[in-house]
Amino acid sequence: MLRKLSLALCTAVILSAGCHSKKQVVPDDAYAYIREAQQLRVRLVPGAASPNGKNTLVSFTVTNPTNKALRFCKWETPFEPRTGKYFEVTDANGNEAAFQGAMARRIMPPPASAYITVPAHNSVKTVTDLADSYRLTARSYVIRYTGSGVSGLRPGNKISIRL
C-alpha cells in the first residue's frame, strides 16, 4: 500500500513539474508590428483596363503619415498576390463574388521577410487584377480591403468598378 502511494506521489510530482517548465515560444514583442501597421493608411483606386480588356485592376497604396518608418506584414494584402481573400467584392445586389484564389496557412509570428517597411511620410503601392482571384460575372462591383488580420492594416476606402 505504501509502495503504491509513493509511486502515485512521484508520478504526480513529475507530471506537475513538467507543466511548469514550459518556455515561452513567442517573444512578447512578436506582434508589435500590428500597432505600427494600424497607423498606416490604405487607399484603393480603380486601375486602367487590364490585359483582358476589362476594368479589373485595382491600385492598393499604403501610406505612412507619421514621422517614423512603420512596417506591416504583406500576408493577406495585394503585396503577396493571389494568396488569400483580402478583398470584399460585392455586386449591386450585395452578392459576394466567388473567391477562386489560393489560401495559405502560416506559422506565426511572421518571419522578417514577410514585412514591408514604409518610410516616414511616404507610401508603397502595388496593382492587382481582381480577375486573377475572383469570379467576376456581374457588370459592376464595390471593392473593399477587409483589413486587420495578419497584415495589421485597417480597412481603407471603398471603390466601384464597372466591367
Helix (H) or strand (E) segment spanning residue 13: helix 2-20
In which residue are the cell numbers 513539474 written?
17
Q: Give residue 8's pLDDT.
A: 54
Q: Give residue 120's pLDDT.
A: 98
| Sequence-ordered alpha helix ranges (H) in 21-69 | 32-37
Q: Give residue 118's pLDDT.
A: 98
Domains of the chain: 31-162 (2.60.40.2970)
Q: Give residue 72's pLDDT.
A: 96
Cα-only R_g, the chain: 23
Q: Give residue 32's pLDDT.
A: 83
| pLDDT per residue rounded down to tens, the chain (163 residues) | 555 555 555 555 555 555 554 555 555 676 788 899 999 999 999 987 766 667 899 999 999 999 999 999 999 999 987 778 999 999 999 999 999 987 877 778 899 999 999 999 999 999 999 999 999 999 999 999 997 688 999 999 999 999 8
Q: Give residue 105's pLDDT.
A: 75
